[in-house]
Chain A
Amino acid sequence: MTDIALAPPSLDLRHMVRRKLFPTPLSGLVSLIGIALISWLAWALIRWAILDAVFFGTPDECKQAAGACWAVITTRWRLMFFGLYPYDEHWRSAFGCLTLIAVIVLSCIPWFWTALRISVLWVVSFTIFVVLMRGGLFGLSVITEDKWGGLALSIFIFAGTSLLGMPLAIMLALLRRSPLPLVAKLSGLFIDTVRSLPLITILFTVAILLPIIVPGLAGTKITRVICGMAVFFAAYQAEIIRSGIQSLPVGQEEAAKALGLNYWQRTRKIILPQAFRRALPPTVSQFAISFKEVALVIVIGIFDFLASGNAAYGSGDWAFAYVEVYAFMAFVYFIFVFSLSRYGAYLERRMRVGK
């Protein structure tokens, strides 16, 4: 009888490995093949990217090496990050870039999550960026938008899109919930039309065709691109906000009405703060999507990060090093998008705990 006393769950490492990886012979075989595949991949990657790689040097030295040619990055990194921005003024572009990245990081801190703080933060830093990049003030030389480029331009377009798109999204979401059926229908029609179009077609229309259709149009190509992207972002974000609003209990709005709050007070103090809280994880992932979508502006001839990367290997000497250039750009995008999406997943977990 004493033999069948239950053994306590074993925390022994050997047992854990055995239970997880080799529960049955077939599963064990699959594990072994998988481990072999992963180690082979990792080893090949390390050899290619680090051990056999050339980090500094000329194209000829690269061609003789078996591994990656990171020399193309170390020689051309300024082109990739700053585009055609004047060489001596690169520090301005770098500082501007860092400001915007700092703002993106700061926006993730809950202390900034009030309408006033977040908008002040974004407007101020956006102004700092534009002043730094454009110049003309404080003795900085004027550098017009057509000279901007590289990663700095990509981040600028992303920040502009978010800054313009978010208020627009809130407006569209509120309009779609309007008690007037015509207003709600029109807003819905607008959102659904924009959502069913590919972003490239919208960018193409606002950047290339609008100046032909309306000749005396103000604004540079980049401003128009930001407007187009903001409209596209807003159409998606509006639906996220609307779903946040709809997930609120009806009692919230009714209670606010009963307290005698008017529409704007209800929206500002009761509805939107709660809706945003609920819609936060999908909002963060929408920002991540939007960051990736900025890469599309290359199609309409804007010299963004991707375009300057293409230029970095495109001309003669480095043409063979395309894998390295794309791997590097993919890595930069990965850092941005992966950290945003991890942050979104963290928020989602944290909010589920509260329920």
Chain B
Amino acid sequence: MFQSRKTNAFLIQAVIGLVVVAALVLFVRYAQRSLEAQNMTSGFAFLWRSTGWDVGFSLIPYTINDPYWRVILVGILNTLFLGLIGLALATIIGIIVGALRTSVNPVMSFLGTLYVESIRNVPMILQAFFWYAVFTHLPPPRQSIDLGGMMFLSARGIFVPWLNVSTFAAGFAGVAFGCAVLLALTFSLLPRRSLFQRTLYPKLSRLALLGGILFAAAVLFFGRNTDGLFQLPQLKGLNFTGGLRVSPEFAALLTAMSLYGGAFLGEIIRAGFLSVNRGQIEAAHALGLSGWHVFTRVRLPLALRAVLPTLTNQYVWLIKATTLGIAVGFSDFFLVISTSINQSGQTLELIAILMAGFLVINNVLAGVMNFINARIKLRGTQLRI
């Protein structure tokens, strides 16, 4: 039709591009107009209006007079909080299950298989509902299940001992510890070009971590309230005071997430263990390393390196699974957004925030994992068959 295949392709693409852009613009215009017809204003001005409703769980101070941007921040923080704890627990369970599944002992590998198959084949939302029912059917606080006078399981939540320190000291210690962890991570991931750097950086990394722990502990110790560093939950009247309350919603979601995620991560880590060359393990044994050292210094690091990209995908999936909060009523990012849509009617804007939020969270997580992967992956031509 035209002179060259190139111009032809260019024209086709230009037409397609224009059609897609036009369709998008038309849809947004149409949606805005139909929402305006239902007396809904558009724009992001509502973010500074006060909400007038409360959330069940918040890490930062929040009242019903606070604006919408703050409630969205509460939701994002809750999602990250639940997600990170869930990922950590799921990873621990996953490593144990993966090790069990690859055990030479048939009884152990059977236990691992039993766990994986019974958890993995049942939808996570069903498990979340189940745990929520279990945690809300616990006895009331007066008849709560007492675990050694320290922990109490009741229908109002799980009460555990907690640090008895001033809010400022707790926040300060948390921030200091977080900075130390970041510093340690930076040192352990920095490129090590010379022998000097190779010996110095691991030491600096360990030093930063140790310093952070000691510093945070000192801050907590000096910032403690008058009546002791730890505070046990105590039954006062119809409810507990003191200690930390883990709500049934949070507990149910966290349990479901760690167990379900643990089964999937276990399978991934198992594949990693299987990919470690037998020769490496035999060499480690031949060098006289103990069984524990062979596991922690040879098998586990090699296995984790082999499966880190797959692990990244599963981590992203698990973060997305926090949206099940809506099923049990935990105020995660998605529940907060959907309540905001109900209350304010700013549908398009809030959906855009929701999508952007998940894109950012997932891409940052994937980016961090890929960066770690690029830094720690095995270099050179190691034959790993």
Contact = CB atoms under 8 A, between A and B. Distances in A.
Interface of A: 20-21, 27, 30-31, 34-35, 37-38, 179-183, 186, 193, 196-201, 204-205, 209, 212-215, 288, 292-293, 295-296, 298-299, 306, 310, 320, 322-323, 326, 329-330, 333-334, 337-338, 341
Nearest to A190: B20
B359 to A, nearest CB: 6
Contacts of B13: 180-183
Main secondary structure of the interface of A (DSSP, over half): helix
Contacts of A193: 355, 359
Interface string B306-337: 00000000001000110110110000001000
B9 A180 contact: yes
B12 interface: yes
A20 to B, nearest CB: 6
Interface string B111-128: 100100110111111110
Contact of A209 (B324, B326, B347): B347
B30 interface: yes
Contacts of B120: 337, 341
Contact of A21 (B105, B137, B324, B362): B105
20 contacts: A21-B105, A30-B107, A34-B110, A38-B107, A38-B114, A180-B16, A196-B362, A200-B323, A201-B323, A201-B334, A205-B351, A209-B351, A213-B35, A295-B125, A322-B137, A323-B130, A323-B133, A326-B129, A337-B120, A337-B122
Contacts of B362: 196
A310 B354 contact: no
Contacts of A337: 120-122
A292 B137 contact: no
Given A38-B111, A310-B129, A333 B123 contact: yes
Given A205-B351, A306-B126, A326-B133, 15 more contacts: A21-B105, A21-B106, A30-B107, A34-B107, A38-B110, A183-B16, A196-B359, A198-B334, A198-B358, A201-B358, A212-B347, A299-B326, A320-B137, A326-B130, A338-B117
Contacts of A38: 107, 110-111, 114
A213 B354 contact: no
B118 A334 contact: yes
A186 B20 CA distance: 9
Given A205-B351, A209-B341, A209-B351, A35 B121 contact: no
Contacts of B38: 212
B17 interface: yes
Contact of A215 (B34, B106, B118, B324): B34
B210 interface: no
Nearest to A307: B129
A146 to B, nearest CB: 22
B16 A182 contact: yes
B107 A21 contact: yes
Nearest to A202: B355
Interface of B: 9, 12-13, 16-17, 20, 30-31, 34-35, 38, 105-108, 110-111, 114, 117-118, 120-127, 129-130, 133-134, 137, 316, 320-321, 323-324, 326-327, 334, 338, 341, 347-348, 351, 354-355, 358-359, 362-363
A306 B110 CA distance: 30
A250 B214 CA distance: 59
B243 to A, nearest CB: 28
A196 B316 contact: yes
Contact of B105 (A31, A201, A310): A31
B123 A204 contact: no
A178 B234 CA distance: 66
A180 B13 CA distance: 7
A201 B358 CA distance: 10
Contacts of A37: 111
Given A214-B30, A334-B122, A197 B355 contact: yes
A201 B336 CA distance: 12
Contacts of A200: 323-324, 326, 334
A174 B117 CA distance: 35
Contacts of A296: 123, 125
A20 B105 CA distance: 7
A213 B348 contact: yes
Contact of A298 (B12, B125, B321, B363): B125
A198 B321 contact: yes
Contacts of A31: 105-108
Given A30-B107, A38-B111, A299-B326, A213 B31 contact: yes
A310 B328 CA distance: 12
B121 A338 contact: yes
Contacts of B321: 198
Contacts of A326: 126, 129-130, 133
Contact of A293 (B30, B123, B358): B123
Nearest to A336: B121
A168 B111 CA distance: 40
The 5 A-B pairs at the shortest CB distance, nearest first, are namely A34-B107, A295-B123, A198-B320, A182-B13, A337-B121
A292 B120 CA distance: 10
Contacts of A306: 123, 125-126, 129
B200 to A, nearest CB: 39
Residue of B107, B134, B324 ringed by the most chain A CB atoms within 10 A: B107
